[in-house]
């Protein structure tokens, strides 16, 4: 299992909140982080250490 950090960003690209995610793969971490879109974040970034795994753009209906 690997540890990731998911950051909810606001409309200005500033970090609103961050949560730890534990997953077996990047794909699993991204799936878990996508659930943060429901909390009103327009973008969620997922990091593993210093590596940006991906940036999730939340749909308008979820942000």
**Alpha helix ranges (H) inside 1-63:** 26-34
Mean pLDDT over 17-30 rounds to 98
pLDDT band at 39; cut points 50, 70, 90: low
**CA nearest 53: which of 36, 31, 62, 13?**
31
Please, what is the average pLDDT of the chain? 91
pLDDT of residue 59: 82
Mean pLDDT over 45-61 rounds to 91
Q: Kindly state the tokens that stand for 52.
A: 């940006």
């Amino acid at each position: 299992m690997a540890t990731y950090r998911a950051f909810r960003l606001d409309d200005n690209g500033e970090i609103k909140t961050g949560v730890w995610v534990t997953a077996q793969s990047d794909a699993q971490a991204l799936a878990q982080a996508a659930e943060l879109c429901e909390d009103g974040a327009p973008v969620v970034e997922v990091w593993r250490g210093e590596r940006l795994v991906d940036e999730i753009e939340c749909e308008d209906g979820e942000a």
